[in-house]
Amino acid sequence: MQIRELSIPDAYEITPQQHQDDRGLFFEFYRFDRLEEAVGHSLDLKQGNTSVSRRGSVRGIHFADIPPSQAKYVMCPRGAVLDFAIDIRVGSPTFGSWDSVLLDDVDRKAIYVSEGIGHCFVALTDDATVSYLVNDVYNPTREHGINPLDAEIGLEFPVPAEELLLSPKDTEAPGLSEAAASGLLPTWEAARAFYATLNDKK
């Protein structure tokens, strides 16, 4: 398993080593100890989620209040999605920037998105199945969104604009500047302080 940090601090791409023979293949899609080495603490699993999406479906940009927010370990066991980590932490050196990882059933990569980072993906195939492990249960009162089509962020979707499918909740979400002005976004300082408390507990 190889783990590398993306251009967004505290977001990581995980590439498993696949072992194949006449029967098929085997790989480790999650290793708490390897993730802890990279991140500084293990992922305290509290919930697992799965979505199945039509091609062109966009889910996100989503995030939760910090603390405790929600760290996510995301994989795509069927089909393909382009997965985005968006730095929405006010004061971060990469605030407003994003990076992406292709998740599919060929390379079987995963992405780890730390607390306070925005998360979004677009389905590149029909029946794209995304499963993710999170460190806190869903709490609708603490969940928020940013419009994934916000020009200021400028996510690049490899699907024609007329084929994108978004929920009303996501299309009605504020843009990055509006969310920042309203105090909705986490701060870099709060995020780093929270990560430090997690590192101290390991």
Amino acid symbol at 133: L
Q: How many CB atoms lie within 10 A of CB 175?
A: 15
Alpha carbons 137 and 1: distance in angstroms, whole number? 27
Is residue 62 flagged as an active site residue? yes
Alpha carbons 89 and 71: distance in angstroms, whole number? 14
Cα 18 to Cα 11, 21, 24, 34, 154: the distances in Å are: 22, 10, 10, 16, 34
Q: How far apart are the first and last CA of the chain?
A: 21
Q: Which of 62, 112, 119, 195 is catalytic?
A: 62
Alpha carbons 25 and 104: distance in angstroms, whole number? 15
Nearest to 176 by CA among 155, 190, 161, 159: 155
Token pair for 163: 């084929």
Q: Which of 12, 73, 132, 195 is catalytic?
A: 132
Token pair for 171: 């299309």
Strand partners, 51: 130
- Catalytic site positions: 62, 132
